[in-house]
Homo-oligomer: A and B are copies of this chain.
C-alpha cells in the first residue's frame, strides 16, 4: 500500500515510522549511513524514496549550525555584472562546481544597495561562506564579511592580507606581455586604457604595461581609465584622441573596453590595426565578435570559478587550502594587433 504523504513535506519522524526505526537512525542514514545495520539502511532508504522525503533546510541549519548556503557577492551594479562576459564565465564555473554539492548559491549584487544590509545578513550566520568577485578599495564591508565567514576572492583583493584566500592570474606579467607584444609589432607610442585604479586588476595590468615600456626605454603614452565597461572604453579612447598626444597602439585592459575603443577610433576615422594596434584582455566571447577580431590575453575565468569554489569548499570542510592560486594567461593573436 502506498504511504499517504500528508500535506506538505515529509518529516524525518514520518520516515522513521514508515521504516520502523527511530529518528536517530534515519538521521544517521542521512549523514552517510555509518553505524547503521544493512537492514535498517535499506528500510530507511525505501521509506525516504517512498515518501519523497527531503530534509528541511531550515531545521537542519538550526540544529547543525550550518546553512549549506554560500553567498556570491558582486560589488558591482547589475548592469556591469550582466554586461561583462567575465562574470558570466566565472559564475558559470562556480555554478558548475557547486552543482555537484548540496550547497546553494545566494546572489548578492551588492553595489546598488546599502552595503551593510548584505554584510549583516551574512554576519548573522545565514551563509557558511562567501565568494567575492571584483573587489574595490572602497568595499570595506567585504572585510566585515571576511571576519564573519570564510571568504575566497576571485581576483586578489586590493590590499592582500595574510590569511586571504584568492584565485587570480598574474596581471602584472600579463600586462607586460601584452605591451611587449605591441612593441614587437613595431608600436612605439603605446597608450593604455586601464580598469579602475581601485581594483587590483586595474592597478596590476597598468604596472605590467609600464614595466614593458621601461624595459625597452620607451616613454609612456596616453593613459585613461575606462572603468571596465564598453561605454567607458569608448569614452577613454575619445579622451585620448582629444588629448592630441599621438599613439600607434593601445593596450586595453578588457575586451569589452576594447570594443568601445574600437568604436570610438572608427568614429575618428582611425583603422584597427592599420592605424592603431590593439590588444585586449580576457579573451571573452566579445573578442571574436569584434571587428577586427581581438588580439587579447586569455585568462581562464571559468576554471577560476571552479577553483574558487573548490578552495571555499575545502575551507568549509576544515581542510587546508591554497591561499594563493595563480592561473596562467596566454596571448591570443588575432587581427587587431
Contact = CB atoms under 8 A, between A and B. Distances in A.
Contact of A91 (B56, B82, B83, B106): B82
Contacts of A56: 62, 124-126
Contacts of A8: 125
Contacts of A289: 230, 259
Interface stretch (A107-115, A174-182, A314-322): A107-115
A164 interface: no
Interface of A: 8-9, 52, 54-59, 61-62, 67, 78-79, 82-83, 85, 87-89, 91-92, 95-96, 99, 104-107, 109, 112-113, 120-121, 123-126, 230, 259, 285, 289, 291
B88 A82 contact: yes
Looking at chain A's contact residues, the main secondary structure is helix
A90 to B, nearest CB: 10
Contacts of A92: 78-79, 82
B82 A99 contact: no
A62 B58 contact: yes
Given A82-B87, A96-B112, A104-B121, 5 more contacts: A9-B124, A54-B121, A57-B124, A57-B126, A78-B88
A112 B88 contact: no
